[in-house]
Amino acid sequence: MDGQVIQAWLEWRQNGTTQNDAESIRVMTLAQMLHVSKPQTLNVPTCLGYVDDTASNGRFGWIFAMPGNSKRTVLRSLHSILGDVRYKPTLSQRVGLASKLASSLLHLHTCDWLHKGFHSGNINFSFDEEM
Protein backbone atom coordinates (compact mmCIF):
# COMPACT_ATOMS: atom_id res chain seq x y z
CA MET A 1 0.00 0.00 0.00
CA ASP A 2 1.55 3.28 -1.09
CA GLY A 3 4.70 1.43 -2.18
CA GLN A 4 5.53 -0.02 1.25
CA VAL A 5 6.14 -3.72 1.82
CA ILE A 6 3.51 -5.40 3.98
CA GLN A 7 3.77 -8.89 5.37
CA ALA A 8 0.63 -10.90 4.73
CA TRP A 9 -0.77 -14.39 4.73
CA LEU A 10 -3.27 -16.05 2.45
CA GLU A 11 -6.14 -18.16 3.77
CA TRP A 12 -7.45 -20.54 1.13
CA ARG A 13 -10.91 -22.07 0.97
CA GLN A 14 -11.70 -24.94 -1.37
CA ASN A 15 -14.82 -24.26 -3.40
CA GLY A 16 -15.02 -27.02 -5.96
CA THR A 17 -14.58 -26.52 -9.68
CA THR A 18 -17.34 -23.96 -10.21
CA GLN A 19 -18.29 -20.78 -8.46
CA ASN A 20 -21.68 -19.17 -8.84
CA ASP A 21 -22.36 -15.43 -8.74
CA ALA A 22 -23.82 -15.58 -5.21
CA GLU A 23 -20.65 -17.22 -3.87
CA SER A 24 -18.46 -14.63 -5.63
CA ILE A 25 -20.47 -11.84 -4.04
CA ARG A 26 -20.12 -13.44 -0.58
CA VAL A 27 -16.32 -13.71 -1.01
CA MET A 28 -16.04 -10.07 -2.09
CA THR A 29 -18.42 -8.88 0.65
CA LEU A 30 -16.50 -10.71 3.37
CA ALA A 31 -13.19 -9.30 2.09
CA GLN A 32 -14.67 -5.80 2.15
CA MET A 33 -16.21 -6.29 5.62
CA LEU A 34 -12.87 -7.44 7.02
CA HIS A 35 -11.07 -4.53 5.35
CA VAL A 36 -13.04 -1.59 6.75
CA SER A 37 -12.63 -0.35 10.32
CA LYS A 38 -14.24 -2.69 12.83
CA PRO A 39 -15.19 -2.53 16.49
CA GLN A 40 -12.26 -3.36 18.77
CA THR A 41 -14.25 -6.27 20.19
CA LEU A 42 -14.30 -7.92 16.76
CA ASN A 43 -10.88 -9.55 16.92
CA VAL A 44 -10.29 -10.36 13.28
CA PRO A 45 -7.34 -9.52 11.03
CA THR A 46 -7.45 -6.80 8.39
CA CYS A 47 -8.23 -8.18 4.95
CA LEU A 48 -6.18 -6.63 2.14
CA GLY A 49 -8.10 -8.33 -0.66
CA TYR A 50 -8.98 -11.69 -2.12
CA VAL A 51 -7.83 -14.06 -4.85
CA ASP A 52 -10.22 -15.96 -7.13
CA ASP A 53 -8.45 -19.16 -8.13
CA THR A 54 -11.58 -21.22 -8.85
CA ALA A 55 -10.90 -21.59 -12.56
CA SER A 56 -7.48 -23.20 -12.02
CA ASN A 57 -7.65 -24.86 -8.61
CA GLY A 58 -11.25 -24.67 -7.39
CA ARG A 59 -10.44 -22.32 -4.53
CA PHE A 60 -10.41 -18.73 -3.45
CA GLY A 61 -8.46 -16.98 -0.74
CA TRP A 62 -8.39 -13.92 1.43
CA ILE A 63 -5.20 -11.92 1.87
CA PHE A 64 -4.69 -10.76 5.47
CA ALA A 65 -2.20 -8.25 6.87
CA MET A 66 0.21 -9.91 9.30
CA PRO A 67 -0.16 -8.39 12.77
CA GLY A 68 2.88 -6.68 14.26
CA ASN A 69 5.76 -4.92 12.57
CA SER A 70 8.45 -7.55 12.78
CA LYS A 71 9.58 -9.76 9.91
CA ARG A 72 9.92 -12.48 12.57
CA THR A 73 6.20 -12.50 13.36
CA VAL A 74 4.67 -15.95 13.01
CA LEU A 75 1.12 -17.23 13.40
CA ARG A 76 0.29 -20.07 15.74
CA SER A 77 -3.09 -21.73 16.14
CA LEU A 78 -4.90 -21.88 19.46
CA HIS A 79 -4.58 -25.66 19.25
CA SER A 80 -0.79 -25.50 18.99
CA ILE A 81 -0.24 -22.91 21.74
CA LEU A 82 -2.37 -24.79 24.26
CA GLY A 83 -0.02 -27.74 23.85
CA ASP A 84 3.26 -25.77 23.94
CA VAL A 85 4.54 -24.67 27.35
CA ARG A 86 6.37 -21.69 25.74
CA TYR A 87 3.11 -20.16 24.53
CA LYS A 88 0.44 -21.67 26.82
CA PRO A 89 -1.61 -18.87 28.41
CA THR A 90 -2.35 -18.78 32.13
CA LEU A 91 -5.83 -19.63 33.36
CA SER A 92 -6.82 -15.95 33.58
CA GLN A 93 -5.48 -15.34 30.06
CA ARG A 94 -7.48 -18.31 28.76
CA VAL A 95 -10.66 -16.89 30.32
CA GLY A 96 -9.89 -13.54 28.62
CA LEU A 97 -9.32 -15.32 25.29
CA ALA A 98 -12.62 -17.17 25.66
CA SER A 99 -14.38 -13.85 26.26
CA LYS A 100 -12.76 -12.30 23.17
CA LEU A 101 -13.69 -15.31 21.02
CA ALA A 102 -17.30 -15.18 22.21
CA SER A 103 -17.47 -11.44 21.53
CA SER A 104 -16.06 -11.86 18.03
CA LEU A 105 -18.52 -14.63 17.20
CA LEU A 106 -21.37 -12.50 18.54
CA HIS A 107 -20.41 -9.68 16.14
CA LEU A 108 -20.23 -12.09 13.19
CA HIS A 109 -23.56 -13.72 14.01
CA THR A 110 -25.22 -10.35 14.60
CA CYS A 111 -24.59 -9.41 10.97
CA ASP A 112 -25.70 -12.89 9.75
CA TRP A 113 -22.22 -14.26 9.07
CA LEU A 114 -21.88 -17.83 10.31
CA HIS A 115 -18.41 -19.30 10.68
CA LYS A 116 -18.95 -22.93 9.79
CA GLY A 117 -15.41 -24.10 10.56
CA PHE A 118 -14.80 -22.57 13.98
CA HIS A 119 -12.24 -24.69 15.85
CA SER A 120 -8.94 -24.33 17.69
CA GLY A 121 -6.96 -25.14 14.54
CA ASN A 122 -8.12 -21.99 12.72
CA ILE A 123 -7.94 -19.45 15.55
CA ASN A 124 -4.56 -17.77 15.12
CA PHE A 125 -2.34 -15.64 17.35
CA SER A 126 0.79 -13.77 16.37
CA PHE A 127 4.15 -14.15 18.08
CA ASP A 128 7.54 -12.61 17.46
CA GLU A 129 9.76 -15.60 16.81
CA GLU A 130 13.11 -15.51 18.61
CA MET A 131 16.21 -16.05 16.52
Query: What's the rounded Cα separation, in Å, for the pair 21 and 7?
Result: 30
Say which DSSP state 27 is in: H
Three-state DSSP state, 31:
helix
> Secondary structure of the chain: what % helix, strand, coil (to 5)?
35, 25, 40
Query: What's the rounded Cα separation, in Å, for the pair 50 and 74?
Result: 21
9: β partners: 64
Average per-residue pLDDT for the chain: 82
pTM score > 0.85 for this model?
Answer: no
pLDDT in tens, 81-94: 888 888 788 899 88
Model pLDDT, residue 76: 85
Q: Which of 65, 79, 86, 80 minimizes the C-alpha distance to 129? A: 86
60: β partners: 13, 52
What is the residue-wise DSSP string for 79-110?
Answer: HHHHT-TTTPPPHHHHHHHHHHHHHHHHHHHH
- Compute the residue count for the chain: 131
Q: Sheet containing 47-53: which strands, arranged edge to edge? A: 8-14, 59-65, 47-53
Residue partners of 108: CB distance under 8 A and separation at least 6? 42, 114, 115
Model pLDDT, residue 131: 41
